[in-house]
Amino acid sequence: MMRMSIRLALVSILSLTMFGPWLHAQEKQPTTTSSKNTLMLKTSAFKDREYIPAKYGCDIAQAQGTPMISPPLEWSNAPKGTVTFALIMHDMGPDPKRVLDPNKLDVTHWLVFDIPASVSSLPEGVSPDSAVEGGVQGANVHDVNGYQAPCPRGVGPHYYVFDLYALDIKLKLRPGVSRTDLLKAMQDHVLAQSTYTGLYNH
């Protein structure tokens, strides 16, 4: 009996050690209801898990006083039953797996939702507050309804994650909705998800 108790205690400790950092994520991620995830997101601007060009970062825009430019995005292989798409871009910092700081919250850079199923791309340079390709933009970290370019603080490159979701409904949320409310509305309506990551450093 004593051996069994010790074994259970060790299993509990190992589980917390391995998975504990993931329990502190900023938002509860929506559950994918599809058994087959074939959705594919990409951009011609940079390769997955490689550096985002300065053109799409904050440095040039701030130096020249020009609008921030979002990268072009395209996707394919949406599952049957897709009604709309939702896009969330967020900064995971220099430690995307939360090994060093499991309590650190990531930062929302761009929200676009209710993109019709007939649309398979977003153009470069989407303007704030615009109904891009029929979609609606939510609030970023600066409470602007549009794209916030990568502008990392601290040491080392930050990981900027683009999450695209295929949904089985139209969310019908207001422009400027928060990431928290967007994720709540998406819960149990995600058919597939695709992720694309870029790095950026000053």
Q: Give dist(CA 9, CA 194) in Å, integer.
A: 37
Phi, psi (rounded to 5 degrees) for 12: -65, -45
Percent of all residues in the chain with a pLDDT value above 70, rounded to a whole number: 78
The pTM (predicted TM-score) of the whole model is 0.82
- In the chain the beta strands, taken as DSSP E runs, fall at 40-42, 50-51, 73-76, 84-91, 107-116, 121-122, 136-137, 158-167, 190-200
- pLDDT at residue number 2: 35
What are the tokens at 94? 């220099």
Q: Name the DSSP letter for residue 97.
A: T
Q: What percent of the chain has pLDDT over 90?
A: 72
CB of 194 closer than 8 Å to CB of 40: yes
Per-residue pLDDT averaged across 80-108, rounded?
A: 84
pLDDT score for 110: 98
- Ramachandran quadrant class, 92 (left: phi over 0; alpha: psi -120 to 50; beta: rest): alpha
Query: Look-up: residue for tokens 């601007």?
Result: 45
Structure tokens at 84: 């709309």
Query: Cα(184)–Cα(180) distance, rounded to whole angstroms?
Result: 6
Q: 175-195 pLDDT, tens per residue?
A: 999 999 999 999 999 999 999
